[in-house]
Amino acid sequence: MARTYGEIIQTSFEEVFAQTADRSAAVFVDIGSGKGLIAAAAVGQGGYARAVGVEKYRDKYEDSIKLHSSLPEDVQSKLEYILSDVADLDLRQLMQQWAQAEVMLFCNNLAFGQGMNARLGRSIREAMDSIPDVRTAVVASTPLEALNDRLKCLISLNMSWGTSHESSVYLWHGDHKE
Ligand SMILES: C[S@@+](CC[C@H](N)C(=O)[O-])C[C@H]1O[C@@H](n2cnc3c(N)ncnc32)[C@H](O)[C@@H]1O
């Protein structure tokens, strides 16, 4: 994968967070968390109960660890970064471990590549099906084909590489708690 780097812009964080019905009972998971900004903001500004970032590359992960240590203790205690390729994680097992009443899975996956996105979509689907009582939203900057039948809407997000980037919102078990 090319080591070019991009991020969601802070002005669009709230648009993502708004896809969760009750943040105080939700975990925010950032797949490909980069420098860790949106995961930190999910707890610090967004009011999520917990946030987890998963990042493949050590240099970005170390940036997120530096950010973590600069945050107030109450935010630190709810925030965790993991150095891993998401393909090497058992998302199903982790979701069962992380899940609160709600899950928000954010994937800024534009540069993940077709094969990786196909695999990611399948493993998210499997993970979500294993937590049937948990309302789950997935926001992806590139469509995840395996989730197509759960597409709720499209939203425009501002990214460091351009404004109004069309992103997909998928929803699981939404009817249970709405
Ligand atoms: C576009 S950046 C998004 C950063 C952050 N989530 C945001 O939106 O501001 C994508 C990140 O995903 C990471 N990444 C790419 N492939 C990955 C993989 N297979 N597993 C985990 N992280 C990955 C990249 O290193 C990069 O930091």
In this predicted model, what pLDDT tens digit does every residue of 78-110 receive, in sequence order?
A: 999 999 999 999 999 998 888 788 999 999 999
Residue 177 clears pLDDT 50, i.e. is over it: no
**Residue identifier of the C-alpha nearest atom 10 of ligand 1:** 32
Please work out whether the CB of residue 32 comes within 6 Å of at least one atom of ligand 1: yes
Token pair recorded at residue 36: 């860790």
Provide the terminal-to-terminal Cα distance of the chain, rounded to the nearest Å. Answer: 39
Residues 6+ apart with CB under 8 A from 115: none
Provide the token pair at 141: 């900057």
Q: Going by CA atoms, what residue is nearest to atom 4 of ligand 1?
A: 34
- CA–CA gap between residue 115 and residue 69 (Å, rounded): 35
Residue 134: closest CA among 169, 173, 104, 97: 173
Is the model's pTM score more than 0.85? yes
Query: Whose alpha carbon is nearest atom 14 of ligand 1?
Result: 32
- Given a contact cutoff of 8 angstroms between Cβ atoms, the answer to whether 75 and 40 are in contact is yes
* CA 93 to ligand 1 center in whole angstroms: 21
Closest Cα to atom 6 of ligand 1 = 33
Distance separating alpha carbons of residues 160 and 142, to the nearest angstrom = 15
Q: Could you tell me which residue, 176 or 139, shows the higher pLDDT? A: 139
Q: 37-44 and 58-70 helices cross at what angle (nearest 10)?
A: 30
Average pLDDT in the chain: 93
Crossing angle of helices 114-129/91-98, nearest 10°? 50
What is 31-85 written as a DSSP string?
A: ES-TT-HHHHHHHHTT--SEEEEEES-HHHHHHHHHHHHHS-HHHHTTEEEEES-
Is pLDDT of 1 > 80? no
* Domain 10-177 CATH superfamily: Vaccinia Virus protein VP39 (3.40.50.150)
Closest CA to ligand 1's atom 13: 32
Question: Is the C-beta atom of 7 inside 6 A of ligand 1?
Answer: yes
> Ligand 1: which of 15, 57, 64, 94 to mutate, judged by most atoms within 8 Å of the beta carbon?
57
